[in-house]
Structure 1
């Protein structure tokens, strides 16, 4: 189930940030599948290949999509084994989800079904009606590593059809556009569901667990009161 979505349009100074919608997206998947590289590619348009796999961060980024500002809060999870309470709190925090695997790692592909089941199970206990399940996109990353491929495109498409989720096979290394489409697709699905309301940014609450996760303002295109993040700022989070 592959879909095409528009990329963010250039920002205009005349627009008001006060009416912007807030979207919380959780990026899930096993360690080393490229979750952080995907997130950083989206918010900076740059590709950085190496990260501390134990680092967990909430990135805050503002983009303009179809003439409106959108506040993205993106939780980049570590992807390591954690207790059920921690993963439950992170899933409850999110409005939508990107479940990532690497085409070079069969085990990461096998993990996708479990993560999708957890998302649906946890949200079904807090939302009414089957139609209110949060949007999930399945992301097959590292398609540029063809000689190391262990998961075919057909495998990914079959799984996405079975789970009824959108599917994207991408190369975070080679394409900013492919990375942006992942996050835009979650936004459009939430918009279609009517799950987003303007001006909701200050009204959101988080659990004590989520408050402990570091937050980073990552808007290189706007002069806001948040921390402005340049490409070099990410070097603070890259291991030597």
Structure 2
């Protein structure tokens, strides 16, 4: 997995090593704090689950994959957690810009935290406002489905809310099942790959308004580059801990 960094704006994320025929699929992952956004992103892109991440890091991840036979670059913006205050939320500027930058948005809540579920409707409204007339596709992910004894959101509430919002719904466990996480993200990638690129290749001043808006996205604070050596170290520590537990039993 290659990590993108040293960017001046989030709309300027080239993949210089890719062939000219390749295209980028950009996704923003949004949700409350502690719902497992980073775990989901890393699980999808690396198959690994570590379970210990720096919260609110706001990293941008990138990986080259094959989608329906086409070589594409998947760019996933992991945004800081959003909090509910006074029964309302306000998206930070960089989260709003992430929505405007993205081709699709993944809304995440935890089945063990009803407050994170209550955030979803307002987050969706914020996505609609940020997208303006260019509303990106949205999917709803319910994470931590393996923690049955801690469940606080009924299994029927997610599908009902997704139906109200008009988006697809997936209940997954980032820690227990890679296939669930991969299926949700991969289907979204396939959907996006079938759509024509939003940015126009015509260099003239008569380019589409959508492309112009993308190029004029406000500056976003430079995201931190995840320390992959540290992630690998923690992954090995997690595996070692599991081995010690089994041995002691």
Band of TM-score, shorter chain: 0.7 to 0.9
The match for 2:66 among 46, 64, 67 is 64
**CA separation in 2, counterparts of 1:147 and 1:156?**
18
Match runs of 1:158-237 below 5 Å:
158-195=160-197, 205=215, 207=217, 209-210=219-220, 212-215=222-225, 232-235=229-232
In structure 1, stretches of 5+ residues that fail to align are 1-15, 128-132, 217-228
Q: 1:123 to 1:66 in 2, by over 3 A?
A: same
How many residues align structurally? 201
Q: Tell me which residue corresponds to 1:116.
A: 124
CA contact (8 A) 1:30 1:80 kept: yes
Q: Tell me which residue corresponds to 1:73.
A: 75
Q: 1:185 to 1:197 in 2, by over 3 A?
A: farther
In structure 2, stretches of 5+ residues that fail to align are 1-17, 84-89, 202-210, 236-249
TM-score (norm 1): 0.74
**CA separation in 2, counterparts of 1:176 and 1:206?**
37
Q: 1:209 to 1:234 in 2, by over 3 A?
A: farther
| Higher relative contact order, structure no. (Cα contacts within 8 Å, ≥ 6 residues apart) | 1
Secondary structure of 1:22's partner? Answer: strand
Deviation at 1:235, TM superposition (A): 5.0
TM-score (norm 2): 0.72
2:155 maps to 1:153: yes
Between structure 1 and structure 2, the one with the greater Rg is: 2
User: 1:119-171: per-residue Cα shift (whole Å, max 9, x none)?
Assistant: 1122124x3xxxxx311000000000000000112000100001110000001
Secondary structure of 1:143's partner? Answer: coil
Deviation at 1:85, TM superposition (A): 2.8
